[in-house]
Structure 1
Amino acid sequence: MTATMDTAGSVQREPDPDWVSCGQCRMLVYGKRFARMAKVCPGCGWHSRLTVHDRLDALLDPGSIRPVEPGPAVHDPLGFADLVPYPERLDRARRETGLDDAVRVVSATVGGHPIVVAAMDFRFLGGSLGSAAGEAIVTAAETALATRRPLLVITASGGARMQEGALSLMQMARTSNAMAALGEAGLLTVTLVTDPTFGGVAASFATLSDVIIAEPGARMGFAGRRVIEQTIREELPESFQTAEFLFGHGLIDGVAPRKELPRLLAVLVGAAAKPADGWADGVTDPVLRDPATLSPPPVDEVVRRARVLGRPTTLDHLANWTDGFVELHGDRAGADSPAIVGGLAELNGLPVMVIGHQKGRTTEELVRHDFGMPSPAGYRKAVRLMRLAGRLGVPVVTLIDTPGAHPGPEAERTGQSNAIAECLRVLGGLPVPVVAVITGEGGSGGALALAVADRVLVCENATYSVISSEGCAAILWRDSDTHAVTAAAQALRVEAKSLLSLGVVDGVVPEPPGGAHRDPAAASVFVRDAVIRALRELHGRDGADLVMARRAKFRRFGSAEVSSKIRETVK
């Protein structure tokens, strides 16, 4: 008989034992090949459902899996019977799956890093969330808390278990509280969404993780598609509630094929680990801290160089600095601004959260990234990542290159001012080291939103200003010709030497002769080394002390005593 699995996950039997028919495109695949490909169709990429045992074997390091037994839970609390008594349904599910209930809990390693996993199996009564499944999730969270390990939850569920009534409903709050305790303890939580994940599971622990990754095509939502269509009497698009739909609306961090998941999880878990001693040994500090050592070109040339598209972008820097960057997406509220990128990375052995503006080099890239001008969703994504870094105790590195926040009507309707203000507040109070580098244009509040840092550095040919020189010239000079724009740039003191003299930045990162665009790789090395040395200086300092010093630093700007000293310096 040929095993044929349809898109609903049910198995049918057909002649010929050596072939499997894809549940989506119906392509026939040799059974052993299908197994070697982790049960992913080589034709259309459809991901077949896995048993919990196959799932864990595929994700975790061989030989590392150790079972964790959940505590006792109530069974059949209501004496429930429909067409079949509930105890008979439980007994049948146990016989067919070999599981006690819908969730299996293990401790293991992934990429050599310890982890606790709670994995759901849809075969057990549709992966429904009852008292025993809730107990397993809570046990996994408490084990992670006791052993100081990250928690991975793998979801596959139709929702709450109706046969347990209100007690099933209570599992949503029970598991959510367990996830909250892990967040308060600074432990990383990750959800892997598999098909399907609905109802009480989606509306509780599944979507409370720090990072949410989904397999291609996996569906997740509160109400099912059929229920929604019957309620609103409209036909929904085919992509509705799929992983790709969720990703496009900023609700999950990424969509990853099954074969990539072990590496991705290893990087995530490794990025939350503590660095080894001596992680920055041998790195030379390139930063210039004396304005007298700087001989900038004319200010109009500096402005031009700051805007050259050949300068390294945030993603360029990350590609040069690390092999282990995992980009995280979405504001978890319905959108994901491509003008800000961010995620966990390992910088010279130190886990860091990197958040930066992203422009691009070609017209197509610039349009795709909104010319590096973030919408409120971008700043809300940045806030989410900042808070995650604070909980994990991971330093934050921000890379700033934006003409300013997006000025469109949609940005105003969705709260641009509030989103920027929240960035300023959250960064100012983060109990971890924060290093900001202005790598190109530092435009107004859109730039400052990522620059409330312990150390603020500026690249040699970058600019930082309250407004663009063109905008200033148009408003105050009432002219937009070249002479007025240059006069405005000079008056605003937008270039690195003036910014250092004013005390607005703490140091200047040198660039290759002629600008970063002349040798982007070398320019990136300068920025990397400057960041590493700044982090080394801040590493190990108490979080409360960091916050106090950071707030005191920004408190001084504009005070009469400090301003008079600055005026003497820049004369």
Structure 2
Amino acid sequence: MVETDDQPGDLDPEWVRCARCTGLIYGRRFLRTLRVCPDCGWHAQLTARQRLEQLLDPGTAEPLRQVAALHDPLGFVDSRPYPERLSDARADTGLDEAVLCVMGRIEGQPVVVAAMDFRFLGGSLGCGVGALVTEAAETSLRLHTPLLLVCASGGARMQEGVLSLMQMAKTAQALAELDEAGVLVVSLITDPTYGGVAASFATLADVIIAEPGARMGFAGPRVIEQTTGERLPEGFQTAEFLLAHGMVDDVVARPALRATLGRLLSLRSPTTPSEPVRSEAPDGILRTVEELTERDSWAAVRLARHPDRPSGLDYVGHLLDDFLELHGDRLSEDCPAIVGGTGRLAGLPVMLIGHHKGGPDLTERRRRRFGMPAPAGYRKAARLMRMAAKLGLPLVTLIDTPGANPGPDAERSGQAVAIAENLRLMSRLPVPIVAVLIGEGGSGGALALGVADRVLVSINGVYSVISPEGCAAILWKDPEAAPTAANALRLHARELVRLGIVDGVVPEPDDGAHRDHAGAAAMLGEALLATLGDLIPWEPARLLQERKRRFHRFGVEGVTAEGGTATAGPGVGPAVGPVVVGPALTTVLGTVERGAQ
């Protein structure tokens, strides 16, 4: 019987004792489960070679060239000379350094992999590791092939002094070049990942995945407790803790890693400008006022709020294949009111971000904050938008929120700043953006996902500067006047077309989307494919110019962004004449602008 906690090795023991539950595992069963305890889910440490064997398609690994690094630059000696420690590590692991770099394929997708080995001086980051990780990044850049970083480290290598510290900057620079070139970087966090590795390349990836129970942080728990005198909570710095606090995108068990990575690595910019993506099916979009019937605004509001109406994730389940939800704002939390990730819309790779209210279950609706995002939700959305821009993926947003979270915690975390940052970011994203109001479009909390090249609304969706109840309380001094306020606000689909706010209306099944989620999703899918098909061939410069023109024309009668006469055309919505609004709406806009309480 062998223990596998600290020395994973390459032997196939007859029995293995789990380091977490202390149960005995038959050796061959342990290998079949990829060295994961079948009883408690504990993930044993793997060597770099074991990791590559598990992740890469058989026979595809090709080693990268070795890079010479300084040998014992300080002449360091503690209880033993540093060269002796290096020599022993090399003999014990069969590796030259604490990282093994190869080219290969995962699920048929090409990838460059830098896999760390904790057995080699604790996976410490020294000059050799820095040089090899940088070489892997430069190979990825040269081949325009995604980079996978498998991280396991105790931190910077003390025996190499401040030179080891410089490897953090060196590897960060290498990843910055991949950002500029639009090359995907994925980080796989294994147990443990600390110090200089965690504070450099491990956390600079576009997508960060962690194995269950893997620990990551800058300072280790023992150092934190000794320094602060505080006892840390259970599970601190584990993968699950990191997911809840917005630091990783997902926690993925080892048996599912290859499939998850394969989906990520398959992401590609969908087309070039000369190769448009188009749907053969009719889009079904209603684009003129004449195609839409008059309706009661308050009835529209109530239908848009129906608890059975499909929200973000409900549509995702019907619309996207290979959807991989990504989590976290990399700052404080993973806001559950906004969901997002990558997937394929009828084969077209997209980034989708949307509000999610949680459905009819009250407990789930509360957990989802009734679709009212905190600042972390908008920051998560911004992170995914930047990733879409880097990878050249079209962006789809699904808007369904009463508004941004109005609580004191949201204000303390910078709610207004988070919304403003998204408005600015979306204004300049160099990829096609389609926004759809699938339910409620409440105030700036909705607009933070709505600065798009095309804006559509579901036929039973609404869009407003304020809720009818809020408007009634402020202007009529009576919340019961909400139906009157709703009519004054002109917030339903027909009025949104007339005002030129939306480019078209997406039909729903006769009884409404809340009666037929699949039918509503099919109609929305047709509209999205057709709209994206029009936009994808556009060069980034045209996208930005038309997006600017679209929003500059609002509120300026008869004037385009260039100062000419407003006309209908691609990207600017239907031309409308002067819009006459009632005094109540004028007062609402003025009152809100002045920041009325």
Short-chain TM bin: over 0.9
1:331 counterpart residue number: 329
The question of 1:38 aligning with 2:41 is answered no
Q: Give the SS at the match of 1:463.
A: coil
Q: 8 Å contact 1:279–1:349 — kept in the other structure?
A: no
Counterpart selection for 1:229 from 225, 228, 237: 225
One-letter identity of the residue aligned with 1:416: Q
Runs of at least 5 residues in structure 2 that lack an aligned partner in the other structure:
560-565, 567-574, 583-597
Partner in structure 2 of residue 24 of structure 1: 20
Instruction: Please report the TM-score for the alignment, with normalisation by the length of structure 1.
Output: 0.96
How far did residue 273 of structure 1 move?
5.1
2:578 maps to 567
Equivalences for 1:29-108 in 2 at 5 Å?
29-108=25-104
Q: Which residue is 1:450 aligned to?
A: 449
Post-superposition Cα deviations, 1:305-339, rounded to whole Å, max 9, x if no partner, equal: 10111111111111111231111111111112110
The aligned counterpart of 1:351 is 349
Mapped to 1, the partners of 2:158 and 2:416 lie a distance apart of: 45
Quote the offset at 1:296 in angstroms.
4.5
Residue equivalent to 2:283 = 285
Aligned residue for 1:389, secondary structure, equals helix
CA distance in 2, matches of 1:445, 1:76: 57
Report what 1:301 is aligned to.
299
SS in 2 for 1:504: coil
> 1 CA distance for matches of 2:136 and 2:222?
33
Distance 1:489 1:74 in 2: 72
Aligned to 2:185: 189
* Distance in 1, Cα, partners of 2:441 & 2:366: 19
Shift of 1:569: 9.4
Identity of aligned residues (%): 57
Q: Which residue of 1 aligns with 2:537?
A: 540
Counterpart CA distance in 2 for 1:560 and 1:270 is: 46
Aligned-CA RMSD value: 1.9
Q: Structure 2 CA distance, aligned partners of 1:121 and 1:319?
A: 38
Cα distance in 1 between the residues matched to 2:448 and 2:80: 59
> Is the 1:501–1:569 Cα contact (8 Å) retained in structure 2?
no
User: Could you tell me which of 199, 204, 219 is aligned with 1:203?
Assistant: 199
Whole-Å separation in 2 of the counterparts to 1:568 and 1:299 = 18
| Cα deviation digits, residues 228-251 of structure 1 (max 9, x gap) | 111111221231111111111111
- Counterpart in the other structure of 1:3: 2
Q: Tell me the distance in 1 between the aligned counterparts of 2:196 and 2:239.
A: 18
Q: Using the TM superposition, give the Cα deviation of residue 540 of structure 1 relative to its aligned residue in structure 2, in angstroms.
A: 2.3
Deviation at 1:298, TM superposition (A): 2.2
Instruction: Give the alignment partner of residue 312 of structure 1, picking from 306, 310, 313.
Output: 310
Point out the more displaced range, 252-261 or 396-405.
252-261
Return closer, same or farther for 1:505/1:11 CA change in 2, 3 Å cut-off.
Answer: closer
| 1:53-88 CA distance string (max 9 Å, x none) | 111111121222111123211111112222221111
Residue 279 of structure 1, CA deviation? 4.7
Larger deviation, residues 268-277 vs 213-222: 268-277
Shift in CA distance, 65/283, structure 1 to aligned 2, threshold 3 Å: farther
> 1:144 aligns to what?
140
1:159 counterpart = 2:155: yes
Deviation at 1:432, TM superposition (A): 0.4
Cα displacement (A) at 1:272: 3.5
* Match in the other structure for 1:468: 467
1:258 to 250, 254, 258: 254
One-letter code aligned to 2:458: C
In the alignment, is the contact (CA less than 8 A) between 1:275 and 1:351 conserved in 2? no
Name the counterpart of 2:590.
none
Q: Whole-Å Cα distance in 2 between the matches of residues 256 and 104 of structure 1?
A: 22
**1:515 Cα offset (Å):** 1.2
Aligned ranges 1:391-402 → 2 under 5 Å: 391-402=390-401
Give the aligned residue type for 1:313.
S
Determine the C-alpha separation between the residues in 1 that align with 2:77 and 2:519.
71
Code of the residue aligned with 1:567 in structure 2: it is P
Amino acid paired to 2:147: L
Residue pair 2:306, 2:514 contacting (<8 A) in 1 also: yes
Q: Deviations over 1:472-524 (max 9, x none)?
A: 1111122222xx22221111111100100100000000011121111111001
Deviations 1:101-157, CA, capped at 9 Å, x for gaps: 001111111121111111100011110111111011000000000000111100000
- Corresponding residue pairs, total: 565
Residue identity matched to 2:144: R
Q: Secondary structure at the match of 1:196?
A: strand
Instruction: Provide the C-alpha distance between the structure 2 equivalents of 1:334 and 1:214, rounded to a whole number of angstroms.
Output: 17
1:139 match: secondary structure: helix
Q: Does 2:112 match 1:116?
A: yes
- Asked if 2 retains the 8 angstrom alpha-carbon contact of 1:503 and 1:566, the reply is no
Give a deviation string over 1:519-558, Cα, whole Å, max 9, x none: 1110011111111111110012111221111011100000
TM-score (norm 2): 0.92
Q: State the alpha-carbon separation in 2 of the partners of residues 275 and 24 from structure 1.
A: 48
Q: Conserved in 2, the CA contact under 8 Å of 1:310 and 1:520?
A: no
Distance in 2 separating the partners of 1:529 and 1:219? 44
Does 414-423 or 80-89 show the bigger shift? 80-89
Say if 1:17 and 1:150 are closer, same or farther in 2 by CA, change over 3 A: closer
User: Any unmatched runs of 5+ in structure 1?
Assistant: none
Q: Distance in 2 between matches of 1:134 and 1:283?
A: 52
User: What letter matches 2:332 in structure 1?
Assistant: G
Counterpart Cα distance in 1 of 2:294 and 2:324? 37
Could you tell me which amino acid in structure 1 is paired with residue 110 of structure 2? P
Q: Is the 8 A contact 1:404 1:443 kept in 2?
A: yes
What is the Cα deviation at residue 358 of structure 1?
Answer: 0.6
Question: What residue identity is the alignment partner of 1:561?
Answer: G
- The farther-off stretch of 456-465 and 64-73 is 64-73
Residue type at the aligned position of 1:86: Y
Q: Which residue of 2 aligns with 1:340?
A: 338
Aligned equivalents of 2:285, 2:49: Cα separation in 1: 53
- For 1:166 and 1:406, how far apart are their aligned partners in 2? 45
The amino acid across from 2:312 in the alignment is T
CA offset at residue 264 of structure 1?
A: 0.8
Stretch of structure 1 that moved more, 293-302 or 173-182: 293-302
Q: Could you say which residue in structure 1 is the equivalent of 2:123?
A: 127
Contact 2:8 2:45 in 1 (8 A): no
For residues 27 and 521 of structure 1, the distance between their equivalents in structure 2, rounded to whole angstroms, comes to 46
Find out whether 1:247 has 2:246 as its counterpart: no
Is the aligned partner of 1:517 residue 2:528?
Answer: no
Quote the offset at 1:300 in angstroms.
2.1
Name the counterpart of 1:269: 265
